[in-house]
Amino acid sequence: MAVSGIPGNGMYESTTAASSGSLIYAVPDDLIQTVLQHLSATDLCHVASCCRWLRDATNQDSLWLPLCQSKGWKHYGTTTDLAKIPSYGPSEQAGDDSATFQNDRIVTDDNTAGLTSTCRWKGVYMRAHHLDRNWATNCSHFKECHFDLQDKPRTDLRTHSVDGDLLAMYNFNQTIHVYDIRNQTLQCVINSACNLYAIKFTDGVIVVPCDNGRVDAFDARTGQTLQTIEGNWGHNTVSLFFDGELVLTCVHTSDTERTMSTDICVWCVEDGLLQRIITVDHTDDVCVYYTGKLDYRDKMLAAVCNDDHIHVWDARSGECLHQLECPRKQTKVQLGDNVIFGFSTKGDVCVTSIWSQETGDCQKVIDLHVGLPTPYIGEYYTEIINNLILLEIKINVLDVRSSVKTYNLLGEFVNDAQLEYNDGDVKGNGSKRLFNLFVETRMGREDWKGVVFNATPTGLVRLFDAGPFEIIWLDEIRMILFDHKENKLSIHHYW
């Protein structure tokens, strides 16, 4: 009996169907797909194990992409592509290899059974499920690295950044030590009179804004100077962005009220030349605010200006794409996946606005009532992590304790946690965050401990306690801790 094809797999016949007379093969393809769309990932895998025809029916991106989105895993196939990140081998702990993802679970074109390749989003789901399970159970490849740091003064005063397998440790004695954390070797030492908090590390290149008014770009593996950008801003404060190709600098000068800037320079790191100057309209005394008022992503720059608008530019052309009106005062901006987020405040109401990056149209406005007591003496902060709005509320500015409430992008309350939100020097991208959770000791006194949380569609999920050492880095695939007393790194690889 002739069998209609599954979309994307062509027409074929099944001799098994003809001999068995199974009625499943007579069901129209569109009806099969409608039924499969209501199944969970586990159910789809059970269906796929029945026969080759049903395996092909379930091996569709249209089925697996929504499942990835529902878990908050879409970024694992876009901004963080797990297929391109080599996983670590078995742990040094004897007999423990459960943290390693088995790549042969993903069917490729060269398989001997003649099966169709695993579709892209099913592969993403499988990898993300494995990684998520490792974080949930704190199952990782564990390594300890001992580095000779005794000759470096004030080893407790550092900032850190990771790019691939390279860890850069920026010391306050104006040196940058770069280590290969996979091979446990010191790559190079870079000496530079730099502003540690503005350093950027991307694609093996470290970009350093210096106190003498220039930007230096270094090869992170050799320490060789690649380019010098003459910025001529002296000792003024500089916001710096770097994406591996373009360097953006925004120089800030202070007035009596706040720090502002009027020009944003775009440089090419390959030749060190100025590409263009993005200029805010000087005729109307329009300036860019500083703290929390700029964001850069995918060649798009957004800045909050004192004309109560968010200005959005294409960094490659310098074209102003949008001028978005801020609904309230004290606006911050954050760029997301094809959207622009604006956070404004008025009293105890936090207004989250969502605009389309393509058209600038406002897609949604969410009023979040913080519920601060009267008179208002507290403060609150907002950010978007993995399509989850995190609203940190500090009831009293003199109190270190705070509450983090989470909402989805529909404005619906998800969950909250009583804790101190203080990630210190923990940086990195992704959904993992370190919080300081207050606990009561045996003596009745309050103390705190670091706890790792994951931002998911169901809210902040507590994963595990961070342990006695300082976490200096968290991203989607690893956690790095530093023992100041022993000058020792503990690296946990979850992928």
Which burial class, exposed, middle or buried, applies to 360 when counting CB atoms under 10 A from its CB (0-12, 13-18, 19+)? middle
Strand order from edge to edge, sheet including 362-369:
329-335, 339-346, 349-356, 362-369
Angle between helices 29-36 and 61-71 (to 10 degrees): 10
pLDDT tens-place string over residues 118-148:
999 999 999 999 999 999 999 998 888 776 6
The larger pLDDT score, comparing residue 450 to residue 109, is at 109
Alpha helix stretches (DSSP H) within 72-206: 120-137
pLDDT of 234 over the 80 cut: no
**Cβ atoms within 10 Å, residue 135:** 22
Most confident of 67-76, 158-167, 420-429, 457-466: 67-76
Average pLDDT over residues 273-297: 76
Question: How does 396-433 read in b/e, with b if 16+ C-beta sit within 10 Å?
Answer: eeeeeebbbbbbebeeeebebbebbbeeebbebebbbb
C-alpha 265: how far from its chain's center? Answer: 25
Average pLDDT over residues 60-71: 96
Distance from C-alpha of 482 to C-alpha of 491, rounded to nearest angstrom: 9
d(CA 276, CA 274): 6
Q: Measured between alpha carbons, how far is 404 from 461 in angstroms, rounded to an integer? A: 12
Q: Kindly list the distances between the CA atom of residue 351 and the CA atoms of 67, 68, 375, 405, 459, in Å, as whole numbers in the listed order.
A: 30, 28, 20, 14, 19
The Cα 222–Cα 210 span in angstroms is 20
Contact 82, 124 (CB under 8 A): yes
The confidence score (pLDDT) of residue 60 equals 96
Pairing of strands 432-440, 300-304: unpaired
CATH among 1.10.3470, 1.10.8, 1.20.1280, 3.30.420 for 31-137: 1.20.1280
pLDDT at 418: 65
pLDDT of residue 130: 94
In 225-377, beta strands by DSSP E: 225-230, 237-242, 246-254, 259-261, 263-268, 274-279, 288-289, 294-297, 300-304, 309-314, 320-325, 329-335, 339-346, 349-356, 362-369
- The answer to whether 221 and 243 are in contact (CB under 8 A) is no
Identify the residue whose tokens are 């963080």. 80
Q: What is the per-residue pLDDT across 381-419, written as a single tens digit (0 to 9) for each?
A: 788 998 899 887 765 555 555 678 899 998 899 988 766
Contacts of 98 (CB under 8 A, 6+ apart): 139
Say how far apart CA 57 and CA 39 lie, in whole Å: 13
Parallel, antiparallel, or unpaired for β 309-314 and 478-483? unpaired
- Give 294's contacts (C-beta < 8 A, 6+ positions apart): 239, 241, 250, 288, 301, 302, 303, 304, 333
Q: What is the dihedral sign for C-alpha 356, 362, 428, 468?
A: negative
Q: Rounded to an integer, what distance in angstroms lies between the CA atom of residue 388 and that of residue 259?
A: 30
Specify the DSSP class assigned to residue 449. Answer: E
For the beta carbon of residue 40, count every other beta carbon within 10 angstroms: 10
For the segment 259-278, the average pLDDT, to the nearest whole number, is 85
Look at residues 387, 378, 349 and name the one whose alpha carbon lies nearest to residue 366: 349
Asked if pLDDT for residue 198 goes beyond 80, the answer is no
Sequence-separated (6 or more) residues with CB below 8 Å from residue 464 = 138, 451, 452
pLDDT at residue 259 greater than cutoff 70:
no
Q: How many CB atoms lie within 10 A of CB 103?
A: 12
Is 0.75 surpassed by the pTM of this model?
Answer: yes
- Whether 418 and 438 have beta carbons less than 8 Å apart is answered as yes
**Side-chain half-sphere CA neighbours of 272 within 13 A:** 14
Residue 483: its pLDDT value, please?
82
